[in-house]
Chains A and B, each alone.
Chain A
Amino acid sequence: MRHKLKKALHIIDFLIPEIQLVKMVKQEGFIAPPETSEYMEWQAQMQQASSYPNAGSFATGQPQYNGQVDGTKDLSTKELDQLFQETEKEINRKILGQQPFVKDLVASYKQGYLTSSSAAARNVILLAGAAGTGKKTALEQLVLEMSLRGLGSSSDVIDIDLSRYEEDEISGNFIEDMSEAFQESEGTVLFRNVKEADGAIINLLGQLVREGSFRTKEGIRVSAEGYYLIFYLDEPVNRQEAQGIIPPALTNKIPSSLLQGIRAIAISSPLDSKEMVHIASIMLDEAVAVLASDMQTRIAIDSEVYETLAGIGTENRTFGETVQQWIDKELIPVISSLWARNDIRRGDKLEIRVSNGVFSVGTRFNTFPIKAVSFVRQESIEDILNELNALTGLESVKKFVHELMETVQVNKLRARGGENAVAMALHMVFTGNPGTGKTTVARLVGRILKALGLLSQGQLIEVSRQDLVGQYVGSTAPRTMAKVTEALGGVLFIDEAYTLARQEHDTFGLEAIDTIVKAMEDHRDNLVVIIAGYTQEIEVFLRSNPGLRSRFPFIVEFPDYSAQDMLEIMLRISKANHFRIDQEAHDGLIELFEQRQIPGRNDSGNGRLVRNLFEEAVRKQSTRIGGTLANGGGDLQLLIRDDFGIGKKEAFNIENELAAIVGLDKVKTFVRTLEKQLIVDRRRKEAGIHVDTGQMINMVFSGNPGTGKTTMARLLAGMLRSMGYLKTGHLIEVDRSDLVGEYVGSTANKTKLVVESALGGVLFIDEAYALAQDGVQGGGFGKEAIDTLVRLIELHKNNLVVILAGYTEDMQRFIQVNPGMSSRFPLQIEFPDYSAEDMQRIASIMVKARGFTMAADVDKLLLTYFNEKQIPGKKDGGNGRLVRNTLEEALRRQAERLADQPDVGKDRLNELTASDFGIASALEAASGRDNSLNALDSIVGLTSVKEFVRSLSAQIEVAKRREQMGLPKASAQSLHMIFKGNPGTGKTTIARILAQRFKELGVIKMDTLVETDRSGLVAGYVGQTALKTREVIERALGGVLFVDEAYALAEGDQFGQEAIDTLVKAMDDYRDRLIVILAGYDNDMEKFLNRNAGLRSRFPNNITFEDYSGEEMLQIAYMQVKAQGYVLTNEAVDKLRSILESYQGDITAGNGRLVRNLVEKAIRGHALRISQHVNVTAEDLSTITPEDFER
Chain B
Amino acid sequence: MKWLLAIVFYHIVMIPVVIMTILLPFILYKDIKTILINEVPVSNGMDAVLAMFSFFIYLAVRSKFLGKPYRKITILLPLLQMLIYTNGALVIGIVILNKWANDGLYSKGWAIVFACLAIVAIRLLMSLFYRKFPIVQTDYR
Contact = CB atoms under 8 A, between A and B. Distances in A.
Interface string B97-116: 00000000000000000000
B82 A17 contact: yes
Q: Taking each of A17, A21, A57, which has the highest tally of chain B beta carbons within 10 Å of its own beta carbon?
A: A17
Given A15-B127, A17-B82, A37-B64, A23 B71 contact: no
Given A32-B72, A32-B74, A56 B137 contact: yes
Contacts of B72: 31-32
A20 B74 contact: no
B137 A21 contact: no
A10 B129 CA distance: 15
A368 interface: no
Interface in B10-49: none
Interface string B116-141: 00000001101101110011111111
B1 interface: no
B8 interface: no
A32 B67 CA distance: 13
B37 to A, nearest CB: 27
A23 B82 contact: no
B75 interface: yes
A59 B64 contact: no
B139 A57 contact: yes
A21 B136 CA distance: 8
A272 interface: no
Interface string A4-43: 0000001001111110110111011111100011000000
Contact of B75 (A25, A57, A59, A66): A25
A28 B139 CA distance: 16
A30 B75 CA distance: 7
Contacts of B5: none
Given A14-B127, A32-B71, A37-B64, A21 B138 contact: no
A921 to B, nearest CB: 87
A699 to B, nearest CB: 77
Contacts of A30: 73-75
B48 to A, nearest CB: 26
Contacts of B138: 13, 20, 23
Contacts of B82: 17-18, 21
Contacts of A23: 136, 138
Interface residues of B, number: 25
Nearest to A23: B136
Q: Taking each of B68, B72, B129, which has the highest tally of chain A beta carbons within 10 Å of its own beta carbon?
A: B72
Given A24-B78, A25-B74, A14 B135 contact: no
Given A17-B130, A37-B64, A66 B139 contact: yes
B73 to A, nearest CB: 6
Contacts of A27: 136
B61 to A, nearest CB: 11
Given A13-B138, A57-B139, A20 B73 contact: no
Nearest to A60: B137
A29 B72 CA distance: 10
A24 B74 contact: yes
Contacts of B139: 57, 66
Contacts of B131: 14, 17
Interface residues of A, number: 24
Contact of A21 (B78, B129, B141): B78
A629 B124 CA distance: 86
B79 interface: yes
Contacts of B68: 37
A670 B88 CA distance: 110
Contacts of B127: 14-17
Nearest to B124: A15
A51 B78 CA distance: 30
A851 B111 CA distance: 116
Nearest to B82: A18
B46 to A, nearest CB: 21
Contacts of B64: 37
Contact of B74 (A14, A31, A66): A31
A62 to B, nearest CB: 13
B137 A20 contact: no
Nearest to A38: B64
Nearest to A16: B127
Contacts of A56: 137
Contacts of B73: 30-32
A66 B139 CA distance: 10
Contacts of B129: 17
A14 B138 CA distance: 12
Given A10-B140, A14-B127, A20 B135 contact: yes
Contact of A59 (B78, B123, B130, B137): B137
Contacts of A13: 138
Given A15-B127, A37-B64, A57-B139, A20 B71 contact: no
Contacts of A31: 72-74
A1051 to B, nearest CB: 86
A28 B138 CA distance: 13
Nearest to B137: A59
A20 B140 contact: no
A17 B126 contact: yes
B130 A24 contact: no
A29 to B, nearest CB: 7
Given A25-B74, A32-B71, A37-B71, A20 B126 contact: no
A16 B128 CA distance: 10
Nearest to A27: B136
Nearest to A17: B130
Contact of B134 (A20, A28, A37): A20
A538 B73 CA distance: 62
A30 B138 CA distance: 18
Nearest to A15: B127
Contacts of A15: 123-124, 127
B135 to A, nearest CB: 5
Interface string B64-89: 10001001111100110010000000
A36 B137 contact: no
A18 B135 CA distance: 10
Interface in A148-182: none
Contacts of B71: 32, 36-37
Contacts of B134: 20
B57 to A, nearest CB: 15
Nearest to B83: A18
Contacts of B124: 15
Nearest to A22: B75
B74 A36 contact: yes
A25 B78 CA distance: 11
A803 B140 CA distance: 94
B80 to A, nearest CB: 11
Contacts of A14: 127, 131
A14 to B, nearest CB: 5
B136 A24 contact: yes
Contacts of A20: 78, 130, 134-136, 138
Contacts of B123: 15
B135 A24 contact: yes
12 contacts: A14-B131, A20-B130, A20-B138, A21-B75, A21-B135, A24-B136, A30-B74, A32-B71, A36-B71, A37-B68, A37-B71, A66-B139
| 8 closest cross-chain pairs (CB), A and B | A17-B130, A59-B137, A21-B75, A32-B74, A28-B74, A23-B136, A24-B136, A20-B135
Given A10-B140, A20-B130, 9 more contacts: A13-B138, A14-B127, A14-B131, A21-B135, A24-B78, A24-B135, A31-B72, A36-B71, A66-B139
